């Protein structure tokens, strides 16, 4: 039940515990995301002690999603993606398909319907951009060929998920009922038309207006106003996409970020948005942890093991097979495979939306969250295993790959 001070208590509890557990995870050489998720578990309803406001936390998390997607858009570089398109685009699509099929098979074995089983597989098919970037930063590989291929691969996955977030509410009605086939095509067509109009207006009109606005704000020479302006653009356009064009907050924020990425002040906008994005992204992961029932690991150990095998083994083997088929440098292949052996933020967003629509049960969401938490925790060890396997195979020195287009080094980011 809400109290007058529930906002400040939720913020204090979320940030303080996330900091403490994030520091512990960092000292253990794990991703801080593991600490954030565990902080959420601790203040969630499935563990004893204080329970945060379960209505307020998801709203704060929604702001985290908006800023997270805005940040992804700000770092999205079509030029970098084009350089690795020959392997990243077909590779990512094939890997998503393979993981989705594996998840569907596991879901059917667990007694799920076809729709829920497909959503299970699809949720597990995408990796966390945040986890990948931090791993590449630690290995100083963001601007190398390895980094370009891995980041390009995940950009394609992110784009697929963004489209899925738009389409899923049309395919599944609240309560889990399938949409009427007679009206499904019309609904999809109308929604895609509105999304296309929104994207077109953003690139044509927003591409001229937003840079002008940023320049005018920059002329004030006020850091506070510039930061506030960037935040207002991200949240305002996200709301516009949702309220006027029927798209998601996430899509609106992503498109706004992509438009600003091509402006002269796009880099400054990214820097100003970074602290706010990181802060609210922490609340997003804490909120996800609050939804997780840790007893699922004891109640359904075989199901959790099956999910982990898909994430850690199935996705990695699919990536190795695909990159080998495209004759990618072996060192690149092993690194990409290790990069995909985890799931993260988009998995949480898709699973939460599926539960909200009634297309996925809480039990299945718990399986996904368990797989995510464990896979993020063990991902550094997967990278070490990939390095060991690469060294044992005697990978030749890394040479320029024909899959990477000519023309200079790429910009890091995703």
Residue 180: pLDDT over 70: no
Ramachandran assignment for 360, one of left (phi > 0), alpha (psi -120 to 50 degrees), beta (any other) = beta
**Burial category of 237 from C-beta neighbours within 10 Å (exposed 0-12, middle 13-18, buried 19 and up):** buried
Angstrom distance (rounded) from CA 256 to CA 60: 20
Report the pLDDT averaged over residues 381-391. Answer: 84
pLDDT tens digits for range 347-374:
888 888 888 888 889 899 999 989 988 8
Residue 399: pLDDT over 50: no
Task: Name the nearest CA neighbour of 106 among 91, 123, 92, 89.
Answer: 123
- Look at residue 31 and give its three-state secondary structure: coil
CB contact at 8 A, 110 and 317: no
Q: What is the mean pLDDT of the chain?
A: 81
Domains and their CATH numbers in the chain: 58-281+299-392 (1.20.1530.20)
pLDDT tens digits for range 71-119:
777 777 677 777 778 888 888 899 999 999 999 999 999 999 888 999 9
pLDDT tens digits for range 27-40:
988 878 889 889 98
What is the dihedral sign for C-alpha 313, 124, 377, 140?
Answer: positive
Task: Name the nearest CA neighbour of 30 among 370, 412, 382, 378.
Answer: 378
User: Is the pTM here over 0.85, yes or no?
Assistant: no
pLDDT, residue 406, reads 40
Predicted confidence band of residue 183 (pLDDT cuts 50, 70, 90): low
């Amino acid at each position: 039940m809400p109290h007058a001070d529930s906002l400040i208590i939720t913020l204090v509890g979320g940030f303080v515990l996330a900091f403490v557990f994030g520091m512990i995870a960092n000292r253990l050489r794990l991703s801080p995301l593991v600490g954030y998720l565990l902080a959420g578990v601790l203040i969630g309803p499935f563990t004893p002690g204080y329970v945060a406001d379960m209505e307020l936390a998801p709203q704060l998390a929604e702001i985290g999603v908006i800023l997270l997607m805005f940040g992804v858009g700000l770092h999205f570089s079509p030029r970098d993606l084009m350089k690795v398109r020959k392997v990243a685009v077909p590779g990512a699509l094939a890997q998503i398909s393979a993981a989705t099929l594996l998840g569907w098979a596991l879901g059917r074995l667990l007694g799920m319907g076809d729709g829920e089983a497909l959503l299970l597989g699809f949720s597990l098919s995408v990796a966390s951009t945040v986890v990948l970037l931090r791993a590449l930063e630690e290995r100083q590989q963001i601007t190398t060929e390895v980094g370009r291929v891995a980041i390009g691969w995940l950009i394609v996955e992110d784009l697929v998920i963004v489209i899925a977030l738009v389409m899923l509410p049309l395919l599944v009605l609240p309560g889990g009922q399938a949409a009427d086939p007679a009206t499904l095509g019309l609904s999809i067509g109308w929604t895609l038309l509105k999304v296309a109009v929104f994207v077109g207006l953003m690139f044509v009109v927003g591409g001229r207006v937003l840079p002008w606005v940023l320049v005018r704000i920059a002329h004030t020479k006020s850091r506070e106003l510039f930061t506030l302006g960037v935040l207002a653009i991200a949240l305002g356009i996200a709301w516009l996409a949702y309220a006027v064009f029927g798209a998601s907050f996430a899509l609106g924020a992503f498109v706004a970020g992509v438009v600003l990425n091509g402006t002269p002040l796009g880099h400054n906008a990214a820097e100003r948005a970074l602290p706010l994005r990181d802060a609210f992204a922490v609340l997003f992961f804490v909120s996800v942890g609050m939804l997780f029932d840790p007893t699922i690991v004891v109640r359904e150990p075989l199901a959790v093991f099956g999910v982990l095998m898909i994430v850690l083994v199935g996705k990695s083997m699919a990536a190795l097979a695909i990159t080998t088929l495209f004759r990618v440098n072996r060192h690149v292949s092993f690194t990409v495979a290790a990069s995909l052996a985890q799931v993260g933020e988009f998995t949480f967003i898709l699973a939460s939306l599926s539960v909200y629509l009634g297309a996925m049960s809480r039990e299945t969401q718990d399986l996904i969250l368990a797989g995510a938490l464990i896979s993020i925790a063990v991902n550094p060890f997967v990278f070490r295993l990939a390095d060991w396997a690469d060294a044992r195979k005697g990978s030749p020195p890394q040479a320029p790959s024909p899959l990477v287009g000519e023309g200079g080094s790429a910009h890091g980011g995703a």
